[in-house]
Protein backbone atom coordinates (compact mmCIF):
# COMPACT_ATOMS: atom_id res chain seq x y z
CA UNK A 1 0.00 0.00 0.00
CA UNK A 2 1.43 3.37 -1.02
CA UNK A 3 0.14 6.92 -0.95
CA UNK A 4 -0.51 6.70 -4.67
CA UNK A 5 -2.07 3.24 -4.49
CA UNK A 6 -4.06 2.65 -1.31
CA UNK A 7 -5.07 -0.90 -2.31
CA UNK A 8 -4.22 -3.94 -0.22
CA UNK A 9 -2.54 -6.98 -1.77
CA UNK A 10 -5.89 -8.76 -2.08
CA UNK A 11 -7.50 -5.71 -3.69
CA UNK A 12 -4.67 -5.51 -6.21
CA UNK A 13 -5.33 -9.13 -7.18
CA UNK A 14 -8.97 -8.24 -7.87
CA UNK A 15 -7.84 -5.24 -9.91
CA UNK A 16 -5.54 -7.51 -11.92
CA UNK A 17 -8.45 -9.86 -12.64
CA UNK A 18 -10.61 -6.92 -13.78
CA UNK A 19 -7.78 -5.64 -15.99
CA UNK A 20 -7.43 -9.06 -17.62
CA UNK A 21 -11.19 -9.26 -18.26
CA UNK A 22 -11.15 -5.71 -19.65
CA UNK A 23 -8.22 -6.44 -21.96
CA UNK A 24 -9.28 -9.90 -23.18
CA UNK A 25 -13.09 -9.81 -23.17
CA UNK A 26 -14.32 -6.21 -23.14
CA UNK A 27 -11.84 -4.23 -25.27
CA UNK A 28 -12.38 -6.37 -28.41
CA UNK A 29 -16.16 -5.75 -28.10
CA UNK A 30 -16.10 -2.01 -27.38
CA UNK A 31 -16.33 -0.66 -30.94
CA UNK A 32 -19.05 -3.16 -31.85
CA UNK A 33 -21.13 -2.30 -28.75
CA UNK A 34 -20.91 1.37 -29.74
CA UNK A 35 -21.80 0.64 -33.36
CA UNK A 36 -24.70 -1.73 -32.75
CA UNK A 37 -26.11 0.30 -29.82
CA UNK A 38 -27.34 -2.98 -28.34
CA UNK A 39 -27.17 -3.86 -24.65
CA UNK A 40 -24.20 -6.26 -24.23
CA UNK A 41 -25.68 -9.26 -22.41
CA UNK A 42 -22.44 -11.17 -23.14
CA UNK A 43 -20.60 -8.63 -20.97
CA UNK A 44 -23.12 -9.17 -18.16
CA UNK A 45 -22.52 -12.93 -18.51
CA UNK A 46 -18.74 -12.38 -18.23
CA UNK A 47 -19.30 -10.38 -15.02
CA UNK A 48 -21.53 -13.14 -13.62
CA UNK A 49 -18.97 -15.83 -14.39
CA UNK A 50 -16.16 -13.87 -12.73
CA UNK A 51 -18.21 -12.64 -9.75
CA UNK A 52 -17.65 -8.95 -10.57
CA UNK A 53 -21.12 -7.99 -9.33
CA UNK A 54 -20.17 -9.57 -6.00
CA UNK A 55 -17.66 -6.79 -5.28
CA UNK A 56 -20.59 -4.55 -4.29
CA UNK A 57 -22.25 -6.88 -1.78
CA UNK A 58 -21.62 -8.39 1.65
CA UNK A 59 -20.80 -12.07 1.92
CA UNK A 60 -24.10 -12.81 3.71
CA UNK A 61 -25.89 -12.00 0.45
CA UNK A 62 -23.52 -14.02 -1.72
CA UNK A 63 -21.11 -11.19 -2.48
CA UNK A 64 -17.36 -11.22 -1.95
CA UNK A 65 -17.40 -8.44 0.68
CA UNK A 66 -18.77 -5.01 -0.06
CA UNK A 67 -16.17 -2.35 -0.84
CA UNK A 68 -16.86 1.05 -2.29
CA UNK A 69 -13.19 1.58 -3.16
CA UNK A 70 -13.02 -1.70 -5.10
CA UNK A 71 -16.28 -0.90 -6.89
CA UNK A 72 -14.75 2.40 -8.04
CA UNK A 73 -11.53 0.66 -9.14
CA UNK A 74 -13.58 -1.92 -11.09
CA UNK A 75 -15.63 0.77 -12.88
CA UNK A 76 -12.43 2.69 -13.65
CA UNK A 77 -10.61 -0.31 -15.14
CA UNK A 78 -13.56 -1.37 -17.31
CA UNK A 79 -14.24 2.19 -18.48
CA UNK A 80 -10.64 2.50 -19.71
CA UNK A 81 -11.67 0.24 -22.60
CA UNK A 82 -15.48 0.61 -22.74
CA UNK A 83 -17.59 3.15 -20.86
CA UNK A 84 -20.82 1.20 -21.48
CA UNK A 85 -19.31 -1.85 -19.78
CA UNK A 86 -18.08 0.22 -16.84
CA UNK A 87 -21.54 1.73 -16.51
CA UNK A 88 -23.14 -1.70 -16.05
CA UNK A 89 -21.28 -2.01 -12.72
CA UNK A 90 -21.95 1.62 -11.72
CA UNK A 91 -25.71 1.28 -12.30
CA UNK A 92 -25.91 -2.04 -10.46
CA UNK A 93 -24.49 -0.18 -7.46
CA UNK A 94 -26.80 2.81 -7.97
CA UNK A 95 -29.87 0.59 -8.24
CA UNK A 96 -28.90 -1.51 -5.22
CA UNK A 97 -27.96 1.28 -2.82
CA UNK A 98 -31.55 2.08 -1.83
CA UNK A 99 -32.02 -1.54 -0.80
CA UNK A 100 -28.67 -1.67 1.01
CA UNK A 101 -29.31 1.59 2.89
CA UNK A 102 -33.03 1.45 3.72
CA UNK A 103 -34.43 -2.07 3.26
CA UNK A 104 -35.58 -4.31 6.07
CA UNK A 105 -33.72 -7.59 6.64
CA UNK A 106 -36.54 -9.43 4.87
CA UNK A 107 -36.30 -7.11 1.84
CA UNK A 108 -32.52 -7.48 1.72
CA UNK A 109 -32.80 -11.28 1.74
CA UNK A 110 -35.37 -11.07 -1.04
CA UNK A 111 -33.40 -8.85 -3.42
CA UNK A 112 -29.67 -8.63 -2.65
CA UNK A 113 -28.58 -12.24 -3.35
CA UNK A 114 -29.99 -12.07 -6.88
CA UNK A 115 -28.32 -8.70 -7.46
CA UNK A 116 -25.02 -9.93 -6.01
CA UNK A 117 -24.91 -12.87 -8.42
CA UNK A 118 -25.90 -10.66 -11.35
CA UNK A 119 -28.95 -12.84 -12.00
CA UNK A 120 -30.92 -9.60 -11.67
CA UNK A 121 -29.91 -6.15 -12.88
CA UNK A 122 -31.02 -3.02 -11.03
CA UNK A 123 -32.07 0.50 -11.99
CA UNK A 124 -32.71 3.79 -10.21
CA UNK A 125 -35.79 5.79 -11.20
CA UNK A 126 -35.81 9.36 -9.91
CA UNK A 127 -35.75 11.65 -12.98
CA UNK A 128 -38.95 12.70 -14.78
CA UNK A 129 -39.54 14.79 -17.92
CA UNK A 130 -40.29 17.82 -15.73
CA UNK A 131 -38.00 17.10 -12.79
CA UNK A 132 -34.33 16.43 -13.32
CA UNK A 133 -32.23 18.60 -11.04
CA UNK A 134 -35.40 19.58 -9.11
CA UNK A 135 -36.65 16.35 -7.54
CA UNK A 136 -39.40 18.03 -5.51
CA UNK A 137 -41.25 18.77 -8.77
CA UNK A 138 -41.85 15.07 -9.45
CA UNK A 139 -45.38 14.04 -10.40
CA UNK A 140 -45.31 10.24 -10.12
CA UNK A 141 -47.74 9.34 -7.33
CA UNK A 142 -48.19 6.38 -5.01
CA UNK A 143 -51.57 5.95 -3.29
CA UNK A 144 -52.06 3.44 -0.48
CA UNK A 145 -54.83 0.94 -1.17
CA UNK A 146 -55.12 -1.87 1.34
CA UNK A 147 -51.95 -3.98 1.23
CA UNK A 148 -50.71 -2.24 -1.91
CA UNK A 149 -49.59 1.09 -3.26
CA UNK A 150 -50.98 2.13 -6.63
CA UNK A 151 -48.37 3.94 -8.74
CA UNK A 152 -49.16 6.32 -11.58
CA UNK A 153 -46.81 8.46 -13.62
CA UNK A 154 -43.62 8.14 -15.61
CA UNK A 155 -39.86 8.45 -15.40
CA UNK A 156 -37.37 9.51 -18.04
CA UNK A 157 -33.66 8.99 -18.80
CA UNK A 158 -33.63 5.78 -16.76
CA UNK A 159 -30.42 3.81 -17.27
CA UNK A 160 -31.07 0.06 -17.67
CA UNK A 161 -34.70 0.71 -18.71
CA UNK A 162 -35.99 -2.51 -20.23
CA UNK A 163 -33.07 -4.66 -19.06
CA UNK A 164 -33.36 -4.21 -15.27
CA UNK A 165 -35.28 -6.75 -13.21
CA UNK A 166 -35.82 -4.36 -10.28
CA UNK A 167 -36.24 -0.58 -10.18
CA UNK A 168 -35.93 1.60 -7.08
CA UNK A 169 -38.67 4.11 -7.84
CA UNK A 170 -39.38 7.44 -6.14
CA UNK A 171 -42.98 8.64 -6.02
CA UNK A 172 -45.09 11.13 -4.07
CA UNK A 173 -47.20 9.56 -1.33
CA UNK A 174 -48.22 13.06 -0.22
CA UNK A 175 -48.62 15.36 -3.23
CA UNK A 176 -49.09 18.42 -0.96
CA UNK A 177 -45.59 18.10 0.44
CA UNK A 178 -42.43 18.90 -1.54
CA UNK A 179 -39.37 16.84 -0.64
CA UNK A 180 -41.17 15.51 2.45
CA UNK A 181 -43.88 13.84 0.37
CA UNK A 182 -41.56 11.51 -1.57
CA UNK A 183 -41.30 7.78 -0.80
CA UNK A 184 -39.19 4.99 -2.31
CA UNK A 185 -40.35 1.60 -3.61
CA UNK A 186 -38.83 -1.51 -5.14
CA UNK A 187 -40.72 -2.27 -8.35
CA UNK A 188 -40.16 -5.59 -10.11
CA UNK A 189 -40.13 -5.51 -13.90
CA UNK A 190 -42.97 -8.02 -14.27
CA UNK A 191 -45.40 -5.87 -12.24
CA UNK A 192 -48.78 -5.43 -13.97
CA UNK A 193 -49.22 -1.81 -15.05
CA UNK A 194 -45.47 -1.23 -15.37
CA UNK A 195 -44.18 -0.68 -18.89
CA UNK A 196 -41.06 0.47 -20.66
CA UNK A 197 -41.45 3.25 -23.22
CA UNK A 198 -39.02 4.45 -25.83
CA UNK A 199 -35.29 3.73 -25.58
CA UNK A 200 -33.37 6.88 -26.54
CA UNK A 201 -30.73 6.95 -29.29
CA UNK A 202 -27.71 8.71 -27.77
CA UNK A 203 -24.43 10.45 -28.59
CA UNK A 204 -22.40 8.04 -26.47
CA UNK A 205 -22.60 5.08 -24.04
CA UNK A 206 -24.70 3.59 -26.81
CA UNK A 207 -24.79 0.02 -25.54
CA UNK A 208 -26.45 1.17 -22.31
CA UNK A 209 -30.23 1.48 -22.47
CA UNK A 210 -31.64 4.88 -21.49
CA UNK A 211 -35.42 5.08 -21.61
CA UNK A 212 -38.83 5.98 -20.32
CA UNK A 213 -40.80 3.87 -17.86
CA UNK A 214 -44.50 4.23 -17.06
CA UNK A 215 -46.80 3.24 -14.21
CA UNK A 216 -50.48 2.81 -15.10
CA UNK A 217 -52.26 1.83 -11.87
CA UNK A 218 -49.28 -0.41 -11.12
CA UNK A 219 -49.95 -2.22 -7.84
CA UNK A 220 -46.87 -2.54 -5.66
CA UNK A 221 -47.07 -4.59 -2.44
CA UNK A 222 -46.75 -2.36 0.64
CA UNK A 223 -43.95 -4.76 1.61
CA UNK A 224 -41.88 -3.14 -1.18
CA UNK A 225 -41.84 0.32 0.46
CA UNK A 226 -38.24 1.20 1.43
CA UNK A 227 -38.16 2.68 4.94
CA UNK A 228 -41.17 4.80 5.85
CA UNK A 229 -43.42 7.08 3.83
CA UNK A 230 -41.88 10.51 3.28
CA UNK A 231 -38.28 9.32 3.64
CA UNK A 232 -37.68 8.99 -0.09
CA UNK A 233 -35.93 12.26 -0.79
CA UNK A 234 -33.44 11.84 2.07
CA UNK A 235 -32.76 8.32 0.84
CA UNK A 236 -32.26 9.55 -2.74
CA UNK A 237 -29.64 12.04 -1.53
CA UNK A 238 -27.86 9.43 0.62
CA UNK A 239 -27.77 7.14 -2.42
CA UNK A 240 -26.32 9.87 -4.65
CA UNK A 241 -23.56 10.70 -2.14
CA UNK A 242 -22.41 7.09 -2.54
CA UNK A 243 -23.14 6.56 -6.24
CA UNK A 244 -21.81 9.81 -7.75
CA UNK A 245 -18.22 8.67 -7.27
CA UNK A 246 -19.08 5.72 -9.55
CA UNK A 247 -19.67 8.17 -12.39
CA UNK A 248 -16.41 9.86 -11.38
CA UNK A 249 -14.75 6.45 -11.78
CA UNK A 250 -16.29 6.07 -15.24
CA UNK A 251 -14.93 9.52 -16.16
CA UNK A 252 -11.49 8.73 -14.77
CA UNK A 253 -11.38 5.43 -16.66
CA UNK A 254 -12.21 7.21 -19.92
CA UNK A 255 -9.54 9.84 -19.25
CA UNK A 256 -6.84 7.31 -18.38
CA UNK A 257 -7.75 5.05 -21.29
CA UNK A 258 -7.55 8.01 -23.68
CA UNK A 259 -4.23 9.13 -22.17
CA UNK A 260 -2.74 5.65 -22.51
CA UNK A 261 -3.90 5.38 -26.11
CA UNK A 262 -2.65 8.86 -27.05
CA UNK A 263 0.73 8.11 -25.45
CA UNK A 264 1.20 4.91 -27.46
CA UNK A 265 0.16 6.68 -30.64
CA UNK A 266 2.52 9.61 -29.96
CA UNK A 267 5.41 7.19 -29.49
CA UNK A 268 5.01 5.65 -32.92
CA UNK A 269 3.69 8.48 -35.09
CA UNK A 270 6.56 10.45 -36.61
CA UNK A 271 6.65 13.97 -38.04
CA UNK A 272 9.70 15.95 -38.98
CA UNK A 273 11.94 13.02 -38.32
CA UNK A 274 10.92 12.18 -34.75
CA UNK A 275 8.00 10.71 -32.78
CA UNK A 276 5.40 13.39 -32.05
CA UNK A 277 5.74 12.59 -28.33
CA UNK A 278 9.12 14.34 -28.53
CA UNK A 279 7.63 17.57 -29.87
CA UNK A 280 7.30 19.93 -26.93
CA UNK A 281 3.69 20.92 -27.53
CA UNK A 282 2.52 17.30 -27.68
CA UNK A 283 4.72 16.30 -24.74
CA UNK A 284 3.17 19.13 -22.70
CA UNK A 285 -0.34 17.94 -23.51
CA UNK A 286 0.49 14.37 -22.49
CA UNK A 287 2.01 15.59 -19.22
CA UNK A 288 -1.11 17.62 -18.41
CA UNK A 289 -3.39 14.69 -19.27
CA UNK A 290 -1.49 12.34 -16.97
CA UNK A 291 -1.37 14.88 -14.13
CA UNK A 292 -5.11 15.48 -14.28
CA UNK A 293 -5.79 11.72 -14.20
CA UNK A 294 -3.56 11.25 -11.15
CA UNK A 295 -5.14 14.18 -9.29
CA UNK A 296 -8.62 12.87 -10.09
CA UNK A 297 -7.68 9.38 -8.87
CA UNK A 298 -6.45 10.74 -5.53
CA UNK A 299 -9.78 12.47 -4.92
CA UNK A 300 -11.84 9.50 -6.09
CA UNK A 301 -10.05 6.86 -4.01
CA UNK A 302 -10.24 9.09 -0.95
CA UNK A 303 -14.04 9.12 -1.27
CA UNK A 304 -14.10 5.33 -1.73
CA UNK A 305 -12.10 4.90 1.48
CA UNK A 306 -14.37 7.34 3.34
CA UNK A 307 -17.45 5.30 2.42
CA UNK A 308 -15.71 2.05 3.40
CA UNK A 309 -14.69 3.61 6.73
CA UNK A 310 -18.33 4.72 7.22
CA UNK A 311 -17.18 8.31 7.49
CA UNK A 312 -20.44 9.53 6.00
CA UNK A 313 -21.18 13.00 7.37
CA UNK A 314 -21.38 16.33 5.50
CA UNK A 315 -17.74 15.88 4.44
CA UNK A 316 -18.80 12.91 2.29
CA UNK A 317 -21.49 14.98 0.54
CA UNK A 318 -18.89 17.59 -0.34
CA UNK A 319 -16.06 15.24 -1.36
CA UNK A 320 -18.40 12.98 -3.32
CA UNK A 321 -19.59 15.99 -5.36
CA UNK A 322 -15.98 17.13 -5.81
CA UNK A 323 -14.88 13.71 -7.07
CA UNK A 324 -17.78 13.48 -9.50
CA UNK A 325 -17.21 17.05 -10.72
CA UNK A 326 -13.45 16.86 -11.11
CA UNK A 327 -13.18 13.35 -12.56
CA UNK A 328 -15.82 14.03 -15.21
CA UNK A 329 -14.51 17.47 -16.17
CA UNK A 330 -11.11 15.81 -16.54
CA UNK A 331 -12.75 13.11 -18.69
CA UNK A 332 -14.04 15.70 -21.15
CA UNK A 333 -10.79 17.72 -21.22
CA UNK A 334 -8.49 14.72 -21.57
CA UNK A 335 -10.51 12.81 -24.18
CA UNK A 336 -10.73 16.01 -26.25
CA UNK A 337 -6.95 16.39 -25.99
CA UNK A 338 -6.47 12.75 -26.97
CA UNK A 339 -8.44 13.35 -30.17
CA UNK A 340 -6.17 16.33 -30.83
CA UNK A 341 -3.00 14.28 -30.28
CA UNK A 342 -4.17 11.78 -32.90
CA UNK A 343 -4.98 14.62 -35.31
CA UNK A 344 -7.14 13.51 -38.23
CA UNK A 345 -7.01 9.91 -37.04
CA UNK A 346 -8.55 11.00 -33.74
CA UNK A 347 -11.70 12.07 -35.56
CA UNK A 348 -12.37 8.81 -37.37
CA UNK A 349 -14.08 5.77 -35.95
CA UNK A 350 -11.23 3.39 -36.67
CA UNK A 351 -9.57 4.73 -33.50
CA UNK A 352 -11.24 4.61 -30.07
CA UNK A 353 -10.60 8.17 -28.85
CA UNK A 354 -13.57 9.73 -30.67
CA UNK A 355 -15.82 7.20 -28.91
CA UNK A 356 -14.19 8.02 -25.58
CA UNK A 357 -14.83 11.73 -26.17
CA UNK A 358 -18.52 11.07 -26.97
CA UNK A 359 -18.87 8.79 -23.96
CA UNK A 360 -17.18 11.34 -21.67
CA UNK A 361 -19.78 14.04 -22.30
CA UNK A 362 -22.60 12.27 -20.48
CA UNK A 363 -20.51 11.93 -17.32
CA UNK A 364 -20.74 15.72 -16.85
CA UNK A 365 -24.54 15.52 -17.05
CA UNK A 366 -26.04 12.47 -15.38
CA UNK A 367 -26.29 11.68 -11.67
CA UNK A 368 -26.38 15.39 -10.99
CA UNK A 369 -25.06 17.83 -13.58
CA UNK A 370 -21.70 19.37 -12.81
CA UNK A 371 -23.47 22.67 -12.23
CA UNK A 372 -25.45 20.97 -9.45
CA UNK A 373 -22.21 19.49 -8.05
CA UNK A 374 -20.78 23.01 -7.80
CA UNK A 375 -23.90 24.15 -5.92
CA UNK A 376 -23.56 21.21 -3.52
CA UNK A 377 -19.87 21.91 -2.89
CA UNK A 378 -20.44 25.63 -2.31
CA UNK A 379 -23.40 24.95 -0.03
CA UNK A 380 -21.28 22.62 2.12
CA UNK A 381 -18.44 25.17 2.18
CA UNK A 382 -20.80 27.85 3.46
CA UNK A 383 -21.76 25.63 6.40
CA UNK A 384 -18.12 25.24 7.47
CA UNK A 385 -16.49 27.48 10.01
CA UNK A 386 -13.05 28.48 8.84
CA UNK A 387 -12.83 31.88 10.51
CA UNK A 388 -10.25 30.54 12.98
CA UNK A 389 -7.80 30.20 10.10
CA UNK A 390 -7.86 33.96 9.61
CA UNK A 391 -7.15 34.91 13.22
CA UNK A 392 -4.44 37.54 13.28
CA UNK A 393 -4.36 38.01 9.52
CA UNK A 394 -4.06 41.74 8.90
Going from N- to C-terminal start, the domains of the chain cover 9-117, 122-230, 233-386
Report the distance separating Cα 34 and Cα 350, nearest Å: 12
Helical residues (DSSP H) of the chain, grouped into ranges: 9-21, 27-36, 41-49, 68-79, 83-102, 105-117, 232-268, 280-308, 314-342, 353-363, 370-383
**Average pLDDT rounded to a whole number, residues 60-76:** 96
Report the distance separating Cα 131 and Cα 275, nearest Å: 51
**Average pLDDT rounded to a whole number, residues 340-351:** 97
- Assess whether the region 122-230 and the region 233-386 belong to the same CATH fold: no
- Whole-prediction pTM: 0.97
Which residue, among 64, 65, 45, has the nearest Cα to 121 in the 3D structure? 45
- Region 233-386: CATH code: 1.20.140.10
In tens, the pLDDT along 197-243 reads 999 999 999 999 999 999 999 999 999 999 999 999 999 999 999 99
For the cut 70, the answer to whether the pLDDT of residue 394 exceeds it is no
User: Active-site residue numbers?
Assistant: 367
Can you tell me whether residue 307 is helix, strand or coil? helix
pLDDT in the model for residue 199: 97
Options 2.30.110.10, 2.60.40.10, 2.40.110.10, 2.120.10.70; which CATH number does 122-230 get? 2.40.110.10
Angle of helix 314-342 relative to helix 353-363, nearest 10 degrees?
Answer: 150
pLDDT in the model for residue 136: 84
Which DSSP state fits 386? -
CATH topology of domain 9-117: Butyryl-Coa Dehydrogenase, subunit A; domain 1 (1.10.540)
CB 307 within 8 A of CB 68: yes
Nearby residues of 42 by Cβ (< 8 Å), 6 or more positions away: 29
In tens, the pLDDT along 173-190 reads 999 998 999 999 999 999
Amino acid sequence: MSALDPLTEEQREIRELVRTIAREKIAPRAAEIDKSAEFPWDVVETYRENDLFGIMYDEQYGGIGESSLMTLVTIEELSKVCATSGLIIAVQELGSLGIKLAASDEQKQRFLPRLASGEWLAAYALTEPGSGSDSAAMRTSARRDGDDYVLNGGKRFITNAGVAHVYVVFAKTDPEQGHGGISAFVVEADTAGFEVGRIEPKMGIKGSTTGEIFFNDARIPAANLLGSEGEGFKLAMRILDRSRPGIGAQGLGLAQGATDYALEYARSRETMGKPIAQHQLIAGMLADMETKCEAARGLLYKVGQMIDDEDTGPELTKLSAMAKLYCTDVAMEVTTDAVQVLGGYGYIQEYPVERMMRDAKITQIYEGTNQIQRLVIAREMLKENRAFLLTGVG
